[in-house]
Copies of this chain bind each other. A is one copy, B any other.
Amino acid sequence: MLSKKAKYSLNALSFLGKRYGDGPVLITEIAEEENIPRKFLEAILLELKKNGVLGSKMGKGGGYYLLKNPEDVNLADVIRIFDGAIGLLPCVTHKYFEPCEECHDIETCGIRFVLKEVRDITVNALKDRTLADIIAEEKKRTRRKKRS
């Protein structure tokens, strides 16, 4: 399961994705529109900035904005910022690698091998999907709903 931070970050990024190229957007506006606690959102946006996803402008007329095109922001990268590794065990990740204490031999561990396959499948699925997909899907469904 995603943490609230990771989930809220997807909400905020989708919102900023729709505004891509329009200049800074206020934290308050994002918070109100996406139903995210204002102060909590502050920390989230700051973290996204530190990780090179968002840019910001301080002072009057300031706010946050997406740095990259929505189709260049994949979900694996975003989720990892807040929730860390996507794999189910530390020993099947690259960045957060750590051997299990209880493991006899990491080289022959069957659990590790099988869960590594699962990790690769999931990570690839998340890497293949971007903010642009989320935005496009929402637009498609909204249109379809309005027509009926």
Give the B-binding residues of A (Cβ under 8 A).
1-2, 7-8, 10-11, 14, 34-36, 75, 79, 84-85, 87-90, 100-105, 107-111, 113-115, 117-118, 121-122, 125-126, 129, 133-139, 141-142, 145
Taking a contact as CB atoms under 8 Å apart, the answer to whether B109 and A138 are in contact is: yes
Task: Point out the residue from B35, B75, B105, B122 that lies within 8 Å of A122, measured CB to CB.
Answer: B122
Task: Point out the residue from B1, B102, B105, B145 that lies within 8 Å of A11, measured CB to CB.
Answer: B102
Task: Offer 30 A-B interface pairs, CB within 8 angstroms, sorted by A.
Answer: A1-B88, A1-B89, A2-B88, A2-B89, A7-B89, A8-B102, A10-B111, A11-B102, A14-B110, A34-B102, A35-B103, A36-B102, A75-B115, A75-B118, A79-B88, A105-B145, A108-B145, A109-B141, A110-B133, A110-B136, A110-B137, A110-B138, A114-B129, A114-B133, A114-B137, A117-B125, A118-B126, A121-B121, A122-B122, A122-B125
